[in-house]
Amino acid sequence: MNPTTLEADSGEMAIRNEADIVLARQQVRRLTQALKFSLVDQTKMITAASELSRNTLIYGGGGEMVWKLLQQGVRSGLQLAFVDQGPGIPDLDLALKDGWTSGNGMGMGLSGSKRLVNDFQLETEPGKGTRVTITRWK
Ligand SMILES: Nc1ncnc2c1ncn2[C@@H]1O[C@H](COP(=O)(O)OP(=O)(O)O)[C@@H](O)[C@H]1O
Ligand SMILES: [Mg+2]
């Protein structure tokens, strides 16, 4: 199942600072290249990872990116989960609206990421944390 250039089919990386976001982006580039995603699809996944890891850092107070290579028949894909134990998201519909931000952002991170991937799952509980899981198939 593994592309030969990858030694594992899942892993996790800490998201604790801006440098970790750069590392997470690099890892997603490496994974999507190993899966032979088109350049456009590589960029979609990297952009989504960038937005979601920044949310993990800024709003979630830090956390992890958990990555997993998927295989379904002849289809291969990449799943990324951005996990934190932060305050959670009180109003999901609002958070997913284009242009809505509780901070100083553009409010396009969640809604934009959702459009860039094939599957988008958001689990959140006030006071417990947030997990955003995205999947893109080749
Ligand atoms: N991991 C998270 N923990 C808590 N709140 C979050 C998290 N991710 C997103 N949010 C909330 O959802 C809003 C929208 O996120 P997003 O679309 O990325 O826009 P922006 O980052 O520009 O604010 C954020 O302003 C924040 O209130
Ligand atoms: Mg954001």
Q: What is the mean pLDDT of each run of 10 residues along the chain (138 residues)?
A: 68 98 98 97 98 98 98 94 98 97 96 98 97 97
The whole-model pTM stands at 0.95
Question: How high is the pLDDT of residue 4?
Answer: 52
Question: How high is the pLDDT of residue 2?
Answer: 52
Q: Which of 21, 51, 89, 134 for mutating ligand 1's site (highest number of atoms within 8 Å of CB)?
A: 89
| DSSP state letters, 7-18 | S-SEEEEEE-SH
Give distance in angstroms: CA of 56 to centre of ligand 1: 8
Question: How high is the pLDDT of residue 8?
Answer: 77
- How many alpha carbons fall within 13 Å on the CB side of residue 100? 11
List the chain domain ranges.
4-137
**What's the Cα-to-Cα distance from 7 to each of 3, 21, 79, rounded to whole Å?**
8, 22, 17
| DSSP state letters, 50-118 | HHHHHHHHHTTSSEEEEEEEEEETTEEEEEEEEEE-S---S-HHHHTSTT--SSSS-S-HHHHHHHHSS
Pick the CATH number of 4-137 from 3.40.228.10, 3.40.50.880, 3.40.47.10, 3.30.565.10: 3.30.565.10
Question: How high is the pLDDT of residue 26?
Answer: 98
The alpha carbon of 132 is separated from its chain's Cα centroid by a whole number of angstroms, namely 7
Ligand 1 atom at minimum distance from 86 CA: 3
Give distance in angstroms: CA of 24 to centre of ligand 2: 15
The DSSP 8-state label assigned to residue 130 in this structure reads E
